[in-house]
Amino acid sequence: MFEELRQSIRHFPDKPGVYLMKNEQDHIIYIGKATSLKKRVTSYFTGNKDPKTRVLVGKIHAIDHIATGNEYEALLLENNLIKKWQPRYNINLKDGKSYPVIRITAEDFPRIFRTRRIFDDGSDYYGPYPSVHQLDTYIDVIEKLYPLRKCKGPLKKREYPCLYYHIHRCSAPCTGNASKDEYNETVGAIKKLLSGNSKEMVKTLTGNMESAVTELKFEQAAEYRDAIQAVKETAAAQEVQDFNFDVRDYVAAVEKEHLCSFIVFQMRGGKLMGRDLYRTEHYGDFPDAYYQFIVQYYGDRAAVPDALFVSDLVDTELISQYFLREKERRIEVKIPQRGRHRSILRMARENGLLDMDQRMRKRRNTEALEELKMALDLDHVPRRIEGFDISQLSGKHPVASMVSFYDGLPDKKNYRHYHVKTLDGAIDDYGSMREIVARRYTRILNEQLEQPDLILVDGGKGQVSAAKSVLDALGLAHITLAGLAKRQEEIFLPGRDKPYELPDTSSALKVLQRVRDESHRFATSFNKRLRQKDVKFTSLTEVPGIGEVRSRKLIEKYESLEAIAKAEPCELAALLGVNNEKAEGMANRLRKLG
């Protein structure tokens, strides 16, 4: 089960979002947010974990995810979903408070303030905001630039303004200092700002900060800097929560090569409270499949939304008639053209595209592995493939690599490097292959680890024979073995005199090439690192004109000091970007080092 989870996580997007961990009964046991879904969820299955996390991981049977536009949306969505589902492993980690919002009252002379309580009283609400500190800074900046009254209740006429007027935090409409039109104009500017148009405020604050720096008022400049940061972060747009109290669904659809993914985002009380994902195949018109999904999805449900938002693939009137006749509900069915609803539907579709990418990748890999099964006459699909390669240069630093692929994709946690130990400087690729295969599969047997379905060696008949002799001796002759030679891309199998060839376009061949090329890359990069350790940076940089950058170029080009010393001056000149005369002088010094 863990292996299947790891493989599914590899297809998670490198995007912000929320992940939902489920147990064997399909109950949500933990909800978390992430700036990168792929990296965060992967971390649960790597490294040492505390006892509580190990208990959680041991109960995970499946993991769902919802991608969001940014981390802020992920944070809000996480909070909403935790309140809805109250997962066992989240309950003690989250308090019951709601995130604060900004309220602009519906009074004749509106006020602005922070609150956690929302009323359906005509007031305008903005947010929510995860950070109370940043929100207070944000409101403070707003009050400085757009002063509104602070006094509670209906506005009462006064002869003299209060203290807030004198410190420029109120426009004093109570004394007639600001007319109702002027006051409403200020309120309108604040609403525009809170709706996401913060550029003018940032521009004003930036100008103030630069002026303060010019006047050497650095403390004041720092305050403006913090204010700019608060405005930028707090004014960030988010699509997972608003203050409409109706019940809305957003249905997005994605289609590719007869595969369909349907995503339903559910907004309840102004909050994104869930996501349903459905997968199917179709062989007719895609809009027909879209209609069929909506009818089937809501046909089995008692709950019907107040409003349904769909793409332009469908006829909204036709869907409205379905709800009216079959569900006896008159609901709004809309194709959003702009604004918040369009953004939410777009986010739903992006989740559908991510799911479709995962399905297409899995389909391609499955088809390629099925083809490989047929090509090599295997009993079953080779889900796990291990590939080997040997790397050495003139008998120096003989090393080997073992790479692991699962369902056609690299399984890097199971990659291994090996130092070849038994050759004593001799150049013997076959002997190296025997040693490494013996070490790998002796450990497999001793530790009762998972055996591969296919072993691939980089090379031809000789390498295959060397590996085969070891597998036979270990009693592992049942594991399929093959070799892939580089020149003609010929496939060598034990017991066959002639190599086997597949067309260049073969998906099965491409799987073998990926494994072979990855094992070669992994081996040569290891060998190169060992060679670089032999070349002393300090020695090269002792030569006048050769610094760290040029010494790195020399190390990447040549395998040893001796090879560098033997290079022609013109070759060194081209590599190091100097003239031939200077290169000749460098060459003489390098020969002394070599």
CATH classification at residue 415? 3.30.420.340
Domain-located, residue 375: no
CA max distance for the chain: 108
Rg of the Cα trace of the chain? Answer: 33
Distance CA 429, CA 265 (A): 58
The helix (H) or strand (E) run that includes residue 170 is none
Domains identified in the chain, total number: 5
pLDDT in tens, 130-178: 778 878 888 888 888 889 999 998 899 998 999 999 988 899 999 999 9
386 vs 426: which has the higher pLDDT: 386
Looking at residue 573, its amino acid is A
| Higher per-residue confidence, 587 vs 593 | 587
285-318, pLDDT tens digit by residue?
788 888 888 888 887 665 789 999 999 988 898 8
Residue 96's H or E segment, with its range, is: none
Q: For position 95, what pLDDT does the model report?
A: 42
* Structural domain contains residue 26: yes
Residues 520, 399, single domain; the answer is: yes
pLDDT tens digits, 271-281: 777 788 888 88
Looking at the structure, do residues 431 and 471 belong to the same domain, yes or no?
yes
* 124 strand-pairing partners: 104
Do the beta carbons of residue 278 and residue 248 sit within 8 Å?
Answer: no
Identify whether residues 411 and 454 lie together within a single domain: yes
Measured CA distances, 217 to 117, 231, 457, 463, 564 (Å): 39, 21, 69, 74, 58
* Domain-located, residue 392: yes
**Whether the Cβ atoms of residue 507 and residue 368 lie closer than 8 Å to each other:** yes
Q: Where is pLDDT greater, at 207 or 535?
A: 207
- Could you tell me the residue range of the domain that residue 183 belongs to? 101-234
Contacts of 338 by beta carbon, 8 Å cutoff, 6+ apart: none
Are 524 and 553 contained in the same domain? no
* 200 & 118 share domain: yes
**Residues 258-272 pLDDT 10s:** 888 999 998 887 777
Asked if pLDDT for residue 515 goes beyond 90, the answer is: yes
Two tokens, residue 436: 């490494």
Looking at the domain assignment, is residue 275 inside a domain? Answer: yes
Residue 378 placed within a domain: no
Q: Which residues, 6 or more positions from 172, have their beta carbon under 8 angstroms from its beta carbon?
A: 149, 161, 162, 165, 178
Mean pLDDT of all residues in the chain?
85
**CA–CA distance from 346 to each of 68, 244, 336 (Å)?**
11, 19, 10
Q: What is the CATH number of the domain that holds 50?
A: 3.40.1440.10
275 vs 269: CA distance, rounded Å: 15
Pick from 27-36, 297-306, 388-397: least confident: 388-397
Cα separation of the two ends of the chain = 56
Q: Can you give the pLDDT at residue 537?
A: 47
Three-state SS at 166:
helix
Tally the C-alpha atoms within 13 A of residue 77's C-alpha that lie toward its C-beta: 31
Other CB atoms within 10 Å distance of the CB of residue 106: 11
Regarding whether 558 and 543 lie in a shared domain, the answer is yes
* Residues 218 and 139 occupy one common structural domain: yes
pLDDT reading at 92 higher than 50: no
> Looking at 516, 532, 548, which one is the last position of a domain?
532
% residues pLDDT > 90 (the chain): 34
Asked if residues 281 and 381 have their Cβ atoms less than 8 Å apart, the reply is: no
Residue 96 scores a pLDDT above 70:
no
- Number of residues assigned to the chain: 594
Q: Can you give the pTM of this predicted structure? A: 0.51
Residues 220 and 81 in one domain: no
Please report which confidence band the pLDDT of residue 531 belongs to, taking 50, 70 and 90 as the band edges.
low
CB atoms within 10 A of CB 143: 18
